[in-house]
Amino acid sequence: MLLSFRFRTVVLLLLGACTVLAIWLTLNYEPFNSVQPLSAGNSTLGFDKIKVINLPHRYDREDAISMQSMASDIDYEMVLGVYAKDLQDSGLPPASRPLTGEGSNEKNAKACFRAHANIWRQMLDEKWGSALILEADAAWDVEIRAIMQRVSYALKDLTDKYPLSSSEAMPTERDPYNLAKWDIIMVGHCNEKDKHGDEYIVFPDPDSPIGKSYKDTPLNDQRVIRRSGGTVCTTAYAISPSGALKLLLRSAIDLDSPVDLIIEGMVQEGTLISYSVHPPPFAQWQYEEHLGADGHNSDIRSVESKSDDKSAEAWKKVHETMNVWRLGSRYQDSTFRHPAFGALKKMAFGESSN
């Protein structure tokens, strides 16, 4: 009887230890072996390059990128955007139809495309392994390094569960996202089609936005990574050499759509292997409302700037919080738990700042 009692006790203790270990693994989602690299949490988020596209006159956006990067300890390289006035039709690919209709918006959309295409071409010329491309009005959570580490782990699980590539390559410290298995990863988009929406996994992320859901399922300290159905907006995306070549070739034969719609169309056709993260870890920022700065929010579309009867209160809040930025209206799913912009006042003025 005594031996039987001791045996049951040992079994129960072992079961309890296994339960605790399982819970710990779920919450921390960390690797136990070298198969899961740690480099996605480095200062370039595991990519060879972080490239930020900015028009030369947008000093405000360059300042915003610099301050956020300091707050989150990431390294980037600035790339000059392209002005519509510097483009000539004879220097651009032919187009079967206007991009966005006649007028300045079409010219600006072509300039936006060219800025992205310049990076794709440079990637191929200089043989980068991978790149994260940001537009200069990008915003992110101050914990972005930890977030992207978790994304890299979840991507491996997703590509194992729903393989789109025959490659047997595994993630490495040099290549934590396993480039052989994708063309593009959307991490800063504003909308997505439902196609392929059932090919996804939910993964733990204690830095995820609060109160979000996926397919009516609440996400509690969680995000989703899925096979993309085609996204809109290019605030932030990762690209591989295969993706750069496909996009450069597709846009070279017919520049018939803005850059995000070319990407969306190729994903829907199945010619571009794409994954996406929800809620997106990156989003577009705009200036706070009622400041008379609406015209500063886009270099593609013209919007009139004007103050109103709420301007005085809005400016008072800006000075109190030392924060003039908000999420763009199309990016509300990315409400950051710890916005990098929100960390700047404490960094600049210390704990005692009011």
State pTM to two decimals.
Answer: 0.87
pLDDT band at 6 (very low <50, low <70, confident <90, very high): low
Instruction: Assess contact for 77 and 47: CB atoms under 8 A.
Output: no
**Contact of 194 with 264, CB cutoff 8 Å:** no
Number of H helices, E strands in the chain: 8, 15
- Cα distance between residue 177 and residue 202, in whole Å: 17
Based on the number of CB atoms within 10 Å of its own CB, is 207 exposed (0-12), middle (13-18) or buried (19 or more)? middle
Of 223-237, 271-285, 338-352, the least confident: 338-352
Confidence of residue 34 (pLDDT cuts 50, 70, 90): very low
The pLDDT of residue 3: 44
Tens-digit pLDDT profile for residues 129-184: 999 999 999 999 999 999 999 999 999 999 999 999 999 999 999 999 999 999 99
Residue recorded with tokens 């949490």: 41
Q: What is the pLDDT of residues 65-93, one digit of tens each?
A: 999 999 999 999 999 999 999 999 999 99
pLDDT band at 29 (very low <50, low <70, confident <90, very high): very low
How many Å apart are CA 144 and CA 153, to the nearest integer? 14
CA distances from 136 to 50, 121, 250, 289 (A): 12, 19, 25, 20
The C-alpha atoms of residue 300 and residue 309 are separated, in whole angstroms, by: 28
Tokens 């700047």 -> residue: 344
**Residue 28 or 247, more confident:** 247
Q: Is 73 left (phi over 0), alpha (psi -120 to 50) or beta?
A: left
Supply the pLDDT for residue 309.
79
Does residue 186 register a pLDDT over 90?
yes
Q: Cis peptide leading into 204, omega within 30 of 0?
A: no
Q: Judging by beta carbons within 10 Å of its beta carbon (0-12, 13-18, 19+), is residue 34 exposed, middle or buried?
A: exposed
Q: What is the mean pLDDT of residues 97-125?
A: 87
Are residues 226 and 275 in contact, defined by beta-carbon separation less than 8 angstroms? Answer: yes
Distances in whole angstroms, Cα of residue 83 to Cα of each of 292, 297, 318 = 24, 16, 31
CB 161 within 8 A of CB 181: no
CA distances from 237 to 97, 102, 103, 234, 264 (A): 26, 28, 28, 7, 13
Domain ranges of the chain: 1-30, 41-134+143-281, 283-349
Q: How many other CB atoms are found less than 10 A from the CB of residue 143?
A: 19
Could you tell me what percent of the chain has a pLDDT over 90?
A: 75
Look over the chain and give the mean of its residue pLDDT values, rounded to a whole number.
88
Tell me the Ramachandran region of residue 130: left when phi exceeds 0, alpha when psi lies from -120 to 50, beta otherwise. beta
More confident residue, 162 or 302: 162
305 pLDDT band (50/70/90 cuts)?
Answer: low
Query: Nearest to residue 110, comparing CAs of 89, 136, 138?
Result: 89
> Could you tell me how far CA 237 lies from the centroid of its own chain?
5
For 221-248, what is the mean pLDDT?
97
Per this entry, what is the length of the chain?
354
